[in-house]
Amino acid sequence: MCGIIGYVGNRDVVPVLIGGLKKLEYRGYDSAGIAVVNAKGVDVVRAEGKLINLESKLGEMQLHGNFGMGHTRWATHGKPNENNAHPHRDCTGQVVVIHNGIIENFLPLKQKLQAAGHEFKTETDTEVVAHLIEEKMNSGTKFVEAVKSAIKELEGHYALVIINGAEPGTIVAAKHGPPLVIGIGEDENIVASDVAPLLEYTRNIIYLEDGEFAVLDQKKVEIFDGEDKLVTREPKRILWDAVMAEKEGYRHYMLKEIHEQARAVRDTFTGRMFEESGQVFFNDLQFTSEEWSKFRRVHIVACGTSWHAALVGKFLLEEAARIPIEVDYGSEYRYRNPIVDEHTLVIGVTQSGETADTIAGMQEAKRKGAALVTICNVIGSAATRMSDGVIYTNAGPEIGVASTKAFTTQLTAFYLFSLYVRQLRGESRDDIRFAMHEMLVIPHKIEDLLLKQEKHIEELAHRFYKSQDFLFLGRGVHYPIALEGALKLKEISYIHAEGYPAGEMKHGPIALIDENMPVVAIATHTPVYEKVVSNLQEVKARDGKLIVICDEGDEAMKKLADEVIEVPWTVEPLQPILTVIPTQLLAYYIALRRGADIDQPRNLAKSVTVE
């Protein structure tokens, strides 16, 4: 979970690298560094902390060249300090390496290389790669061949970009696990961890596959498979433009992305559901009714916010499919020996499409014969490439580490999928049409909600931002929203928060409630509304501070709660798309008030590509 970029062409490379790293900083931000090759040799500049520290260091130097690479780090091996920041070098200083992932056998390799006289300067696993290549070159092997041979000795997961100061103009890239994409430009080529830094230069992108190896120079890109055979692959044309990934005047990406949700949800259903005919259609996923009827169970695998979307998805799909559905964390699924066969459908839910735990769970399911579908936001990402079918969430690039629009578009994708399943099972077109109509008006309701409630939520944040703990309660489809609300608050404000099913509160968490405990409850009109009201009475009886997300005009709730946040009415399966938005805003404004680093919270990274 680091950001990687390498460039070769005619441009001054330092601004290209720094501009690219800014777009990759969400992947890790505990240190950063660049390597630039010019007539004087290889210059490596690194700095602890955020990219801005590296920028100010570079500001004092006159560093130029048109070939180099950069890295922004999320530490795994070795403290996040300048010495451990990438790039790392061999003993000669000519072989320079940046890396995302973990080299699992770095210790035995390091011991072997130390015994052969190599001197290590850092605590990282990455440095071993530079020395290993050097060792191969010492015995006469040419640079590119030495890299190929060194990589065969590595165990673990890596995306590597390597240059040799003695061979300017050649970049070598290798992938086994974490993503690497190559942008094919005119008289320039560029490689990075994702497409965002490439879009300024080209829209023609090649995704490297696991086990592949690429050699780039200014004029060409050659890709080789694990057996060293040349691979021919047409570039994909990426339609996201660079501006979509900028802040557009918002103070933080998170706030911008919260406000983009009406558009993102609309883009996710547009062109897939046709109200007139009552039909749902997916470009990248097609089942016949016969194929669908063979499934006996569905497993949904995901992490973090995507796992919360999966919990809502279970409600929607189980209702539509009437077969058992289980939801697992990716990190648990792969190790629990799940019962999976060719009658199992496994759905991986992942914004990035590169979360290592989710991918591993999906791989395990595939190995056992399951059909794989992914709900994913990133075209061509690892999850999509291994799946039999994909439902893309057209959220556009999500940069804020705290996931917002990815979540509401995942809920939209699940809703569409549930309609698709109802269609496959021969349900009445009229019922499906009604369900579609409700989806069509959701974007307006999101806009309305933001317009009417944002200011009020900001005020609430000002009142509650000093609280030490929060409890979030919900039942049914809103239980996952309680979990998501708690996750959002803790990850960006660092306030302890727990999400609980409201009915479960009396079995333990009720002991926490007193006049200092804010309780955020979701209590819209669902079949369990009255039950939730009883649970909220229990909170009030113990002087808890009750903030309730309820339907517009719920007068009874206004009397019971200390504060209400009203959301427009919609049908139960779509309510989570609306009720989650106040929790996102509350977390955002509380974090803002506490002066937290909202887009890049401490210890986190946008894509978790390690286990």
8-state DSSP, 235: P
Among 28, 33, 168, 304, binds ligand M6R (CB under 6 A): 304
What is the dihedral sign for C-alpha 103, 104, 107, 109?
negative
Cα–Cα–Cα angle for 594, 595, 597, nearest 5°? 120
Q: What are residue 367's phi and psi, to 5 degrees?
A: -60, -35
Among 84, 100, 202, 351, binds ligand M6R (CB under 6 A): 351
- 254 binding ligand M6R? (CB under 6 A): no
The token duo for 388 is: 């039999």
Q: CA 380, CA 376: separation in Å to the nearest integer?
A: 10
8-state DSSP, 50: S
How would you label 159-188 residue by residue, b for 16+ Cβ within 10 Å and e otherwise? bbbbbbbebbebbbbbbbbbbbbbbbbeeb
Nearer to ligand M6R, 273 or 489 (CB): 489
> Which secondary structure element, helix H or strand E, spans residue 321, and what is its range?
helix 304-321
Beta-carbon contacts of 228 under 8 Å, excluding residues fewer than 6 positions away, are: 148
Among 5, 303, 424, 495, binds ligand M6R (CB under 6 A): 303
Q: Which residue is nearest to ligand M6R (CB)?
A: 304
Nearer to ligand M6R, 148 or 606 (CB): 606
- Count of residues touching ligand M6R (by CB under 6 A): 16
Which residues pair with residue 181 across a beta bridge?
192, 207
Give 607's Cβ-side CA count (13 Å radius).
33
Nearer to ligand M6R, 159 or 523 (CB): 159
249 CB-contact burial (10 Å; exposed 0-12 / middle 13-18 / buried 19+)? exposed
Q: How far is the CB of 469 from ligand M6R (least distance, A)?
A: 20
In three-state secondary structure terms, 344 is strand
Among 189, 193, 268, 355, binds ligand M6R (CB under 6 A): 355
Q: What are residue 3's phi and psi, to 5 degrees?
A: -105, 135
Among 565, 591, 608, 610, binds ligand M6R (CB under 6 A): 608
Q: How far is the CB of 407 from ligand M6R (least distance, A)?
A: 8
Question: What is the number of other CB atoms lying within 10 angstroms of the CB of residue 49?
Answer: 15
In three-state secondary structure terms, 475 is coil
Q: How far is the CB of 355 from ligand M6R (least distance, A)?
A: 3
Nearer to ligand M6R, 483 or 536 (CB): 483
Q: Binding mask 471-510 vs ligand M6R (x if CB under 6 A, - otherwise)? A: --------------------x-------------------
Nearer to ligand M6R, 446 or 604 (CB): 604
In three-state secondary structure terms, 609 is coil
Q: Binding mask 80-119 vs ligand M6R (x if CB under 6 A, - otherwise)? A: ----------------------------------------
Q: How far is the CB of 261 from ligand M6R (least distance, A)?
A: 14
Q: CA 255, CA 588: separation in Å to the nearest integer?
A: 7
Nearer to ligand M6R, 68 or 400 (CB): 400
Amino acid type, 499: G
Chain mean position to CA 493: 19
284 CB-contact burial (10 Å; exposed 0-12 / middle 13-18 / buried 19+)? middle
Q: How far is the CB of 409 from ligand M6R (least distance, A)?
A: 11
Nearer to ligand M6R, 126 or 600 (CB): 600
Q: How far is the CB of 401 from ligand M6R (least distance, A)?
A: 5
Residue range at the interface with ligand M6R (CB under 6 A); choices 56-64, 176-184, 303-311, 562-570: 303-311
Q: How far is the CB of 475 from ligand M6R (least distance, A)?
A: 22
Residue ranges in 477-574 assigned as alpha helix (H) = 479-493, 529-541, 555-560
Q: CA 142, CA 160: separation in Å to the nearest integer?
A: 18
User: Site residues for ligand M6R, window 389-418 (CB under 6 A)?
Assistant: 401-403
Among 66, 94, 122, 306, binds ligand M6R (CB under 6 A): 306
Among 66, 126, 202, 305, binds ligand M6R (CB under 6 A): 305
Q: How far is the CB of 315 from ligand M6R (least distance, A)?
A: 19
8-state DSSP, 175: E
- 301 binding ligand M6R? (CB under 6 A): no
The token duo for 501 is: 């099913």
> Which residues have a catalytic role annotated?
2, 606
The token duo for 171 is: 């970049």
Nearer to ligand M6R, 550 or 608 (CB): 608
Among 122, 344, 358, 493, binds ligand M6R (CB under 6 A): 358
Nearer to ligand M6R, 120 or 250 (CB): 250
Q: How far is the CB of 331 from ligand M6R (least distance, A)?
A: 11
Q: How far is the CB of 212 from ligand M6R (least distance, A)?
A: 22
Is 189:233 a contact under the CB 8 Å cutoff? no
Max CA separation in the chain (angstroms): 82
Residue range at the interface with ligand M6R (CB under 6 A); choices 133-141, 147-155, 348-356, 413-421: 348-356
Is 546:533 a contact under the CB 8 Å cutoff? no
Nearer to ligand M6R, 208 or 604 (CB): 604
List residues near ligand M6R by CB under 6 A.
303-306, 350-352, 355, 358, 401-403, 491, 604, 607-608
